[in-house]
Amino acid sequence: MKSIKLFEIKKLQTSFPSVKITDSKQAADFIRQFWGDDIEIFESFYLLMLNMNNVTIGYAKISQGGIAGTVVDVRLICKYAVDSLCSSVIVAHNHPSGNLNPSSQDIDITNKLKQALQLLDIKLIEHIILTKDAYYSFADEGRI
């Protein structure tokens, strides 16, 4: 029986350079490129995978929802992280409303992800919320 690959990690190629992420602004700027004009239309959730030196090695779009939310499956994030053999991850999503404040659901998923990834010896180093012109960093605010 032939195996069908259901998920594929987007490998960073020459057109998508590997970058060493050193702070939240750099992470937000790097991840912002995954959105187009839709950043103010519907909510999307992305995963950025990094090696031991915090250099980007791949990314995946986890979900795309409506104007007020999107579903985030912790198992999918863990699967991508394990498949990529990454050492750490950054997650990001946008708030089409323009409100940078994390919701209770945002805080809950961050805590769930941190705990699940710790079991796999993978570190959640950042969760970024993006709006058209700004960002919120869970790490900078002491929430990771």
Tens of pLDDT, residues 20-44: 999 999 999 999 999 989 999 999 9
pLDDT at 9: 58
State residue 56's pLDDT score.
96
Report the predicted TM-score, pTM, of the whole model to 2 decimal places.
0.89
Look at residue 131 in the predicted model and tell me its pLDDT. 97
What is the pLDDT confidence band of residue 102, given thresholds at 50, 70 and 90? very high
pLDDT on residue 3: 45
Q: What is the 3-state secondary structure (H, E, C) of the chain?
A: CCCCCCCCCEECCCCCCCCECCCHHHHHHHHHCCCCHHHHCCCEEEEEEECCCCEEEEEEEEEECCCCCCCCCHHHHHHHHHHHCCCEEEEEEECCCCCCCCCHHHHHHHHHHHHHHHHCCCEEEEEEEECCCCEEECCCCCCC
* Residue range 113-127: mean pLDDT, rounded: 98
Query: What's the confidence (pLDDT) of residue 7?
Result: 54
> What structural domains and CATH numbers belong to the chain?
10-137 (3.40.140.10)
CB atoms closer than 10 angstroms to residue 5? 6
Per-residue tokens: 101: 């404040």
- pLDDT tens-digit series, residues 40-96: 999 999 999 999 999 999 999 999 999 999 999 999 999 999 999 999 999 999 999
